[in-house]
Structure 1
């Protein structure tokens, strides 16, 4: 049974990454349920946007305190998990601190010391975030839409990250004491563990120290696999999906309304004095009309909008600047994305159960997002401007409004009156065109 540990490690590794790949495939499949959209233009600008916003965190630091803390957690956690490479090699082949043989003594010392500094920054970040989220009373983090699972999810992520860092320090501290006793070869520099934790282990026997180091090593490894597979159920999918979301982001003016080609062609035909309205259109003259105008369910949204729903981290920056929400309206841009994701997940479970989507009698409109929410939006673009990863809840609102107006003729009375006036008077106001300049007579 000499290689039992290596076999168990390999089984866990394959199972962990296999389940993670299965989860990613489900997300990909669900996103593909949406309408196709071409966002492959302006590639250089898209790469630059992704590097600046997703990797460089340029929008996070608009709120400096939260931005800097997020940078600690983001950079630290990502770089620390480079050590997973070493853990994987050591776990499969039974080596100990494999990278030391690759990097050499001096560079490996710098590498491990850097990881320790980053790890303590992660600990500081997650502790302050936990206090801020649960005790400091930031309004956007205490709204009722976060009660229950969203709040618990955010706290669990912080607790998991804290536990992983504690395991990391415990592993290093016990390793350091064993190195000092000559049991392990001297590899690495551990400035934080040496000061904070290794003095606690001075009175431990060698066998207890070895067991502590191994337990912390296994906890760190299994914890990373657990965290990775927990992401599917968590808002923290943005760790992965923020990158494609920023690459496929809308690079046009925020809030620019997308005209439908079929409607544009029809209007041009109506405005052409030489056209015969009764003539059959020549092939290719008129764009093919979509099967449905606007969006009633997630199938009617485009794939980038569904990707946005999965990418939302529920930070609430969009809702905190929404004038409708601030003045007590029901609308919350964050909740628009959360509800879209919830409906998409429900559709995904339906497909998992039945092999294909079976009508469940529900729609995104009304069952998840109400008309009151949609018409409360002022289309001011504050939400899209505030989002740290360029998500666009306004585009979902646009599409659902389009469905209400063009498919159901269900616009509010005020809007119907305005459109009637435009049709009859070529102006939004209810008076004849000849009277439009009466206001200037006096």
Structure 2
């Protein structure tokens, strides 16, 4: 018996899964560069959010057309790839459609028939997505940050899905044994006549070629995810689980600021006393680079789907300001990748490269354009929070560099001196009433 096909299949499978595992470890390391944060509270609500948002796609259907098409692709692609289990078993043990030996013919036919129908639906949805992106050219796909690789990535993944679905249907259509069952060939029976003129020796060759290309394509797709925005296929689940639970308008107090305020309010504290020799270094206020952010925020950056819903809802962006919440997340991920490569190149240690997220990737103008309205957070279909990153970097600018805009400095000065944001003495507040 010739074991070469099984050996070759095992090598390809191990290589594909091994490379994917290596990228998962790299991803985990990069996310763990962020500060630790406790998100272990209210687990029942977190599981509920994950089930509703990541699994149930409840925030996708806010925009019905895109949401419905996405659900088709999501369900279709996941369910169709259940057949990968059969392909793996067949590849490793040299069997052919092992499912027919395990399941009743009608049950097996029902499953494969369902997969074929879903494959066609996925093809239709993907074609519509391609038209929306490349012919209709929906505005949110045309922002400045959506050029070059981000633009190409969106199309590449669509081509991937078309090829994989077509290979699946061709594989079924050219499988003579499967077609003779007349069970499950709901779609492929109409494709089979296209190959009817071929010899009996050619059909198995096409079927085997489609079979090999299908599984190799799936492994390539799996490993492509790390480099693509479609990493959200995997990360949407943990990201929605660890998403923000407090009301969107509520900002978390910075512990370092709280400690400073407590010290100032302590009547027994000596403001001129030197810190103890063993006292830890003062904690940095806010964030200027990715390592100042929490690991949840870094997870957010890798989960970003680049769909642009956040930017299309942003009032600052709509009025021509430079801010794009999508770009904030893309910049954070790009900088994090740069830091990760720096660590790899220097054997596990980060060597200062003279860059940081603030300034080199995200400008002051972008940060101060934000109105902190939370529209971007509300719009995100996978619970990403761009506002938290914006506010952390703003805090750094104000508290570490005293680099707030002049209008903001004037307002804070007025609050300190007059108890209100306006430049009027408290004694003059009712003058307007006397004049009337």
TM-score by length of structure 1 reads 0.94
1:327 to 319, 322, 335: 319
C-alpha displacement at 1:267, in angstroms?
A: 2.3
1-side partners of 2:343 and 2:271: how far apart? Answer: 44
1-side partners of 2:413 and 2:137: how far apart? Answer: 47
C-alpha displacement at 1:289, in angstroms?
A: 7.5
For residues 328-349 of structure 1, give each alpha carbon's deviation from its aligned partner in whole angstroms, at most 9, with x where no partner exists.
1110000000000000001111
For residues 200-241 of structure 1, give each alpha carbon's deviation from its aligned partner in whole angstroms, at most 9, with x where no partner exists.
011111110000100000010000000000111101000000
Matched, 1:420 2:413: yes
SS in 2 for 1:191: coil
Q: 1:409 to 1:165 in 2, by over 3 A?
A: same
The 5 A counterparts of 1:32-111 are 32-111=32-111
Q: 1:278 to 1:353 in 2, by over 3 A?
A: closer
- The answer to whether the Cα contact below 8 Å between 2:179 and 2:189 also exists between their aligned partners in 1 is no
What is the number of residues matched between the two proteins?
A: 432
Contiguous gaps of at least 5 residues in structure 1: none
2-side partners of 1:35 and 1:198: how far apart? Answer: 57
SS in 2 for 1:145: coil
1-side partners of 2:49 and 2:26: how far apart? Answer: 27
Matched, 1:192 2:184: no
**Residue 365 of structure 2 corresponds to which residue in structure 1?**
372
For residues 373-418 of structure 1, give each alpha carbon's deviation from its aligned partner in whole angstroms, at most 9, with x where no partner exists.
0001011111001000010000000000000000000000000011
2:205 to 207, 211, 235: 211
Matched, 1:316 2:324: no
CA RMSD of aligned residues (A): 1.9
C-alpha displacement at 1:53, in angstroms?
A: 0.1
2:354 to 351, 358, 361: 361
Matched, 1:336 2:332: no
**Residue 129 of structure 2 corresponds to which residue in structure 1?**
129
The 5 A counterparts of 1:113-262 are 113-175=113-175, 177-179=176-178, 186=181, 188-195=183-190, 197-262=191-256
1-side partners of 2:51 and 2:282: how far apart? Answer: 35
- The answer to whether the Cα contact below 8 Å between 1:421 and 1:430 also exists between their aligned partners in 2 is yes
SS in 2 for 1:395: helix
Q: 1:276 to 1:352 in 2, by over 3 A?
A: closer
Contiguous gaps of at least 5 residues in structure 2: none
C-alpha displacement at 1:117, in angstroms?
A: 1.0
Q: 1:344 to 1:276 in 2, by over 3 A?
A: closer
C-alpha displacement at 1:187, in angstroms?
A: 8.0
Q: 1:390 to 1:179 in 2, by over 3 A?
A: closer
- The answer to whether the Cα contact below 8 Å between 1:30 and 1:348 also exists between their aligned partners in 2 is yes
Matched, 1:303 2:295: yes
1-side partners of 2:337 and 2:60: how far apart? Answer: 28
- Structure 1 window deviating more from structure 2 (94-103 vs 164-173): it is 94-103
- The answer to whether the Cα contact below 8 Å between 1:269 and 1:275 also exists between their aligned partners in 2 is no
TM-score by length of structure 2 reads 0.95
**Residue 406 of structure 1 corresponds to which residue in structure 2?**
399
2-side partners of 1:14 and 1:437: how far apart? Answer: 79
1-side partners of 2:390 and 2:269: how far apart? Answer: 36
2-side partners of 1:14 and 1:268: how far apart? Answer: 57
- The answer to whether the Cα contact below 8 Å between 2:172 and 2:179 also exists between their aligned partners in 1 is no
SS in 2 for 1:124: helix
- The answer to whether the Cα contact below 8 Å between 1:170 and 1:193 also exists between their aligned partners in 2 is yes
1-side partners of 2:273 and 2:210: how far apart? Answer: 75
For residues 343-377 of structure 1, give each alpha carbon's deviation from its aligned partner in whole angstroms, at most 9, with x where no partner exists.
00011111111111111110001000000000010
